[in-house]
Amino acid sequence: MDIPDEPLAISVLTGFLGSGKTTLLKELLQHPDMDETAVIVNEFGEIGLDHLLVESSTEDIVLMNSGCLCCTVRGDLVETIRKLYKQRLIQEVPAFNRIVIETTGLADPAPILQTLMSDPFLSDRFRLDGVIVTVDAINGAETLTNHQESVKQAAVADRLLLTKTDLSQDKDFSDLLARLKDLNPTASVFKTAKGQIDPAQLFNAGLYNPETKSLDVQNWLKAEAFDNEHNHSHAHDHNNHGHGHDQGHDHGHHHHHGHDHSHDVNRHDDKVHAFCLTHDKPLDWDQLNSWVDMLITLYGSNLLRIKGLLNIEGDKNPIVIHGVQHVFHPPVMLENWPDSDRRSKIVFIVKDLKKEMFEDTFKAFMEQSEDLI
Q: Which of 152, 171, 206 is the last residue of a domain?
A: 206
By the 8 A CB rule, do 217 and 334 touch?
yes
**192 and 92 assigned to the same domain:** yes
Domain that holds residue 351: 272-367
**192 and 289 assigned to the same domain:** no
Q: β-strands 327-328, 319-324: how paired?
A: antiparallel
In a domain, 258, yes or no: no
In a domain, 230, yes or no: no
Distance CA 200, CA 179 (A): 25
For the chain, what is the domain count? 2
| pLDDT per residue of the chain (373 residues) written in tens, 0 to 9 | 777 878 999 999 999 888 888 889 888 988 999 999 999 987 655 555 554 545 555 667 888 888 888 888 877 889 999 999 999 999 999 999 999 999 877 778 888 899 888 999 998 899 999 999 999 998 899 999 988 889 999 999 999 999 998 887 666 788 899 999 999 999 999 999 888 999 999 999 999 888 888 889 999 999 999 875 543 333 333 333 333 333 333 333 333 333 343 334 455 566 898 999 999 999 999 999 999 999 999 999 999 999 999 999 999 999 999 999 999 988 999 999 999 999 999 999 999 999 999 999 999 998 875 544 4
CB-based burial label for 337 (10 Å; 0-12, 13-18, 19+): middle
CATH code of residue 97: 3.40.50.300
Backbone torsions φ then ψ of 175, nearest 5 degrees: -65, -45
Q: Which of 171, 206, 241 is the last residue of a domain?
A: 206
Backbone torsions φ then ψ of 179, nearest 5 degrees: -65, -45
HSE on the CB side for 169, CA within 13 Å? 0
HSE on the CB side for 146, CA within 13 Å? 8
In a domain, 151, yes or no: yes
Distance CA 151, CA 143 (A): 8
Q: What is the pLDDT of residues 108-129, one digit of tens each?
A: 888 889 988 899 999 889 999 9
Backbone torsions φ then ψ of 143, nearest 5 degrees: -65, -45
